[in-house]
Amino acid sequence: MKTKAVKITLIVLGLMAVVLIAMRPPFFSGGDVTPGDEVPIRPSGQPREFTPPELAALEEFLTMSDEELDRLQSAIDRIRAMSEEERAQFAGRIVEFRRLPREERQRVREGFGRQSFDERDDWRRMMQDLTPEERRSVHESLQDIPGDERTQRRLRMIEEWREER
């Protein structure tokens, strides 16, 4: 169980690093970069050096399995699809999460850990299919429900959504 918590923590930290990096100027000055591409040269004639946090993130990525990298790439793709406002809101939620007491953060992590990645992806897709008013209504209806009950309610909502598709 402790190993699972460590993995989840590492993934969360990796995602936070990605979010922080995504909010700063990109590693490269534009376009897709493939292996063998040259490092772009800055106007000063010097290649841009990675900052210590960027290097730490890269080191972490090098130790990840292909499955973990795929999940991270999926998260990056979702971040790229976000508007500036959505990114700011997401960054704010991360800050709020960090401010939670340790026990509350653990409870939140465990709640997410009980859902498969398919369930999480389908929840996201389901919510994207809703109008802003419907999303607000769903969030309000789940807000005061205890964690386990909320998880069960979410799973029922996902199943109903899947059946409608």
Enclosing domain of residue 99: 1-27+49-113
Answer yes or no: is 32 within a domain. Answer: no
Same domain, 122 and 150: yes
Q: Which are the contacts of 121, defined by CB distance < 8 A and separation ≥ 6?
A: 74
pTM of the model: 0.42
Same domain for 106 and 78? yes
3-state secondary structure of 28: coil
pLDDT digits (tens, 9 = 90+) for 80-133: 988 999 899 889 888 888 888 888 887 777 665 566 777 878 888 898 888 888
Residue 124 in any domain: the answer is yes
> Do 2 and 22 belong together in one domain?
yes
In total, how many domains does the chain have? 2
Q: Which residue has the tokens 């059946």?
A: 163
The distance from CA 20 to its chain's CA centroid, rounded to whole angstroms, is 11
| Any domain includes 43 | no
Contact 138, 130 (CB under 8 A): yes
Length of the chain measured in residues: 165
Contact status, residue 75 vs residue 22, Cβ threshold 8 Å: no
**Domain for residue 41, yes or no?**
no
